[in-house]
Amino acid sequence: MSEPKGDLLADAVAELYEADPDEFTGRRTELAAAARDAGEPAMAKQITALRKPTRSAWVVNRLVRADPAVRSRLEALAADLRAAAGSADGGRIRELTAARSRLVDELTRQALQVSELPAPPAALREEVTATLDAAIADPEVAASLGSLVRAAHWSGFGLDSFPEGTPAPAPARKTKTPALAEPESEREDRRREKIMEAERTLAQADQDVAATTAAERDLEEAVRHLEAELADARQRLAEARRQSYRAESRQQRAARQLSRLRE
């Protein structure tokens, strides 16, 4: 029984965005040709239009496809953050932003392990971290996980405090009014907003520290590994030199003995 034609595009996306980007273009051509041979020229055109992912986007795609639980973990934390932001619970926001930093750091390490990149360039690691963080903050990024084309970035401190899909109210227009004493409730609201903003800034700084510390640990491990390899190579070189010296000595003795025998 032949494969349902409607699965060709989904299968092509799954294969292309999980495979190494270096193989993307050639394999995309093959899959598009297979779709045309199956009598699906429109689908072949869709496959041809698929864009090659960057290396960092591929790392995230491979993580999500290798571990389906990643999506639910990111979505659950995003929902908790939105609820906390909506209730203006500073303590809960602080707790969740710390959890966000831990989750992003954990998933970054997992993504690099799945992609067999134990010591990646710092820029690649930063892009993977930024993309996972953006997936928590931005539903559009979250929806594209598994078929990302490039790394994503989130420029805010946290999640929008308004429910998803609800636009924030337009800022009030400034009008000239007589100076009045600010009500106590408004002063308290402003104070809470400043506290929340400071907490978000601190959480972002904590996340940056965690990311740079992790990158530093990875580089230190890579340096230790290279130093161990260098020490081993030096030992092998010293042994090779000793063996070469012995071989040369044997050669010289054999030459002298042959010379004496010929006399």
At 191, list the tokens: 């104070």
pLDDT in tens, 82-126: 888 877 777 888 888 899 999 999 999 999 999 988 788 899 999
Q: What is the mean pLDDT of the chain?
A: 80
C-alpha 57/C-alpha 147 separation (Å) is 8
Round to whole Å and give the CA distance between 142 and 136: 7
Distance from the Cα of residue 62 to its chain's centroid = 10
Identify residue 218 by its one-letter amino acid code.
D
Contacts by 209-218 with C-beta closer than 8 Å and gap 24+? 210/101, 210/102, 210/105, 211/105, 211/108, 211/125, 211/126, 211/129, 214/105, 214/108, 214/109, 214/125, 215/122, 215/125, 215/126, 218/118, 218/119, 218/120, 218/125
Q: Is the pTM of this model over 0.75?
A: no
> Rounded to whole angstroms, what are the CA distances from 41 to 13, 25, 50?
16, 18, 15
What one-character-per-residue DSSP string does 22-72 give? GGHHHHHHHHHHHHHHTT-HHHHHHHHTPPPPPHHHHHHHHHHHH-THHHH
Alpha-carbon gap, residue 127 to 154, rounded angstroms: 11
**Quick check: 262 pLDDT over 70?**
yes
**Would you say residue 218 has pLDDT above 50?**
yes
pLDDT at 186: 67
Confidence of residue 200 (pLDDT cuts 50, 70, 90): low
Q: DSSP character for 164?
A: T
Task: Inform me whether the pLDDT recorded for 203 exceeds 70.
Answer: no
pLDDT for 188 beyond 50? yes
* 16 touches 34 (CB < 8 A): no
Q: What is the pLDDT of residue 151?
A: 92
Q: Determine the average pLDDT of the residues in 43-61.
A: 93
Nearest to 108 by CA among 4, 208, 226: 208
Instruction: Write the DSSP assignment of 64-121 as a string of letters.
Output: HHH-THHHHHHHHHHHHHHHHHHHT-HHHHHHHHHHHHHHHHHHHHHHHHHTT-SS--
Q: What is the mean pLDDT of the segment spanning 231-250? A: 84
Q: Is the pLDDT of residue 173 over 60?
A: no
Spatial neighbors of 32 by CB under 8 A, at least 6 apart, are 12, 44, 45, 47, 48
* Range name among 18-27, 150-159, 200-209 with the lowest pLDDT average: 200-209
Q: Which amino acid is at 169?
A: P
Lowest mean pLDDT among 22-26, 46-50, 115-119, 150-154: 115-119
Locus of tokens 């990024």: 141
Query: Which of 137-141, 223-227, 243-247 ranks highest by mean pLDDT?
Result: 137-141
Q: Is the pLDDT of residue 225 over 80?
A: no
